[in-house]
Amino acid sequence: MPAVIVLGAQWGDEGKGKATDQLGQHTDLVVKFNGGNNAGHTVVIDGEKYALHLLPAGILSEGVTPVIGNGVVVDLDVLFEELAEITERGVDCSRLRISSNAHIIPPYNRLMDQANERARGNNLIGTTGRGIGPTYADKMNRIGLRIQDLFHPEELRAKVEAALAPKNTIFEAVDIPTLDPNEVSDHLLSFADRIKPMVCDVSLVVNDALDRGDTVLFEGGQATMLDIDHGTYPFVTSSNPTAGGACTGTGVGPTRIDSVVGVVKAYTTRVGEGPFPTELLDDMGERLRTEGGEYGVTTGRPRRCGWHDAVVTRYAARVNGLTDLVMTKLDVLTGHETIPVCVAYDIDGTVTQEMPLTQSGFHHAVPVYEELPGWSEDISEVRNFADLPQAAQDYVLRIEELARCRISAIGVGPGREATISRHSLIG
Ligand code: GDP
Ligand code: IMO
Ligand code: MG
């Protein structure tokens, strides 16, 4: 299975970092295709915790070439901070490759993110404040800065000046200090020499690797329900974390992809604003948050928690063409007498198993639950599916049935080793 996409099938933080890290051990290239340092991926190796934002989680596996694709937006300050941090911990980062076409998050877009959120007032999105949305907006508006611009200083300066002028006007209006275009350009250009050896044509690098028969893992940030096209718009991020994004975000054709793996939690979480039908606003939500350690890796915000929403998982299986699911955090559900799973939505009296046609319908969706029996045994040391308590097996099998996609691996703890494998994800 030489080309595998790993992506989030809910609202993010499903445990993609752990899944990528695990598969990365059997992989030659790990390619990040969307998003930027809005992502927060936790990887735990031998009890040691790594939090990665911009770098692909595969960077932690020896022998892997980590790659940042053209679909990613790169904050140069964060890139070099994260590289320094990981290098200090003994990880060899010298193989990192970055697309010349990837867009740069300039400092003014962090401020624009703030300005936009302020302007939204009560309708704010609850972004990570990293400048993601404004940078993708500049890209679409064709006023973005790309990594390759760092090697043409005069052009970069002209682009910064043109893009920053209207933004400074907005900053003035909302009492955010304006920025000097020359200072911004000097700052960005100060990274040029350091980044140059990493810059490449990612499409060529990845396609060549596939031609050689190398295994390539495409690592998605964010998730299906945060997708700009397929998520809960406008409460989404500004990229395509869905499977198609792996192709557009790297320059690899869809015919080259062999499998698409969606990662889901055994329950559901969400960070930031927006609809979340199975959200628990009571003590049970608090219990999931505490027992699951549900606090954001990037912003530290408490995550909103709720039961597993199989309508969402089934939808994710459809829009991504999932071949496999990885279910994480089954261990967190230990100790409940029964566990509700959302099997359909009741929307103003009409019951449906499909994603509502309109966003307004989704806001009205009331979950229809099926109560499944729980289990009380500690499952964190289990490594074979058959050794799970029957109720835990049945829980997995029922969600598999509802999602119409096989669940090939199950997480029972944060560590690399804490996984039950049912079907090989990399053949
Ligand atoms: P990502 O953004 O999808 O990579 O996920 P995050 O790293 O933001 O959040 C997932 C959290 O769950 C991290 O703290 C992981 O260490 C942890 N985690 C992943 N898989 C499991 C699992 O199977 N069980 C438990 N208990 N924790 C897990
Ligand atoms: P990983 O890769 C969870 C959410 C933000 C906000 C919305 C838009 O760790 O799963 P943005 O800064 O992207 O414009 O914010 O998307 N969000 C995430 N939520 N996990 C993430 O990444 C997220 N990246 C963005 O909370 O609601
Ligand atoms: Mg995360």
In angstroms, rounded to a whole number, what is the distance separating the alpha carbons of residues 195 and 68? Answer: 12
Pocket of ligand 1 contains residue 53 by CB under 6 Å: no
Band (pLDDT 50/70/90 cuts) for residue 397 is: very high
Q: What six digits make up the tokens of 416? A: 């690399």
pLDDT, tens digit, for every residue of 51-85?
999 999 888 888 899 999 999 999 999 999 999 99
With H, G, I as helix, E, B as strand and everything else as coil, classify residue 336. Answer: coil
CB contact at 8 A, 74 and 98? yes
Band (pLDDT 50/70/90 cuts) for residue 194 is: very high
Per-residue confidence (pLDDT) for residue 297, from 0 to 100 = 83
pLDDT, tens digit, for every residue of 97-151?
999 999 999 999 999 999 999 999 988 999 999 999 999 999 999 999 999 999 9
CB contact at 8 A, 392 and 379? yes
What is the average pLDDT across 320-344? 98
Per-residue confidence (pLDDT) for residue 342, from 0 to 100 = 98
In angstroms, rounded to a whole number, what is the distance separating the alpha carbons of residues 339 and 66? Answer: 39
In angstroms, rounded to a whole number, what is the distance separating the alpha carbons of residues 299 and 129? Answer: 9
In angstroms, rounded to a whole number, what is the distance separating the alpha carbons of residues 417 and 413? Answer: 8
Looking at per-residue confidence, does 185 or 47 come out higher? 185
Pocket of ligand 1 contains residue 42 by CB under 6 Å: yes
Per-residue confidence (pLDDT) for residue 25, from 0 to 100 = 84
Q: Residue 268's closest CA among 221, 311, 217? A: 311
pLDDT at residue 427 is higher than 80: no
Pocket of ligand 1 contains residue 14 by CB under 6 Å: yes
Q: Strand runs (DSSP E) across 182-292, as ranges? A: 199-200, 216-219, 259-265, 268-270
Q: Ligand 3 centre from 304 Cα, in Å?
A: 13
Whole-number percent of the chain with pLDDT over 70: 100
Q: Ligand 1 centre from 136 Cα, in Å?
A: 27
Among all ligands shown, which has an atom nearest to the Cα of 239?
2
pLDDT at residue 22 is higher than 90: no
Pocket of ligand 2 contains residue 106 by CB under 6 Å: no
- Mean model confidence pLDDT for the chain: 96
Q: Residue 144's closest CA among 158, 159, 154? A: 159
Ligand 2 pocket mutation, candidates 6, 232, 236, 271, criterion most atoms within 8 A of CB: 271
- Look at 255-259, 295-299, 315-319, 388-392 and tell me which has the smallest mean pLDDT: 295-299
Q: Ligand 1 centre from 335 Cα, in Å?
A: 19
Q: What six digits make up the tokens of 3? A: 């080309």
Nearest CA to ligand 1 atom 17: 414
Band (pLDDT 50/70/90 cuts) for residue 426 is: confident
Pocket of ligand 1 contains residue 265 by CB under 6 Å: no
Q: Ligand 1 centre from 10 Cα, in Å?
A: 13
Whole-number percent of the chain with pLDDT over 90: 91
In angstroms, rounded to a whole number, what is the distance separating the alpha carbons of residues 304 and 281? Answer: 8
Q: Residue 58's closest CA among 102, 81, 25? A: 25
pLDDT, tens digit, for every residue of 284-313?
999 999 999 999 888 888 999 999 999 999
What is the average pLDDT across 247-252? 98
Q: Strand runs (DSSP E) across 348-383, as ranges? A: 350-352, 365-373
What is the average pLDDT across 195-219? 97
The whole-model pTM stands at: 0.97
**All residues at 6 or more sequence positions from 235 whose CB lies less than 8 Å from its CB, including other chains:** 125, 126, 272, 273, 274, 275
CB contact at 8 A, 426 and 23? yes
Specify whether 364 is catalytic. no
Per-residue confidence (pLDDT) for residue 24, from 0 to 100 = 82
Counting atoms of ligand 1 from 1, which one is nearest the CA of 14?
A: 3
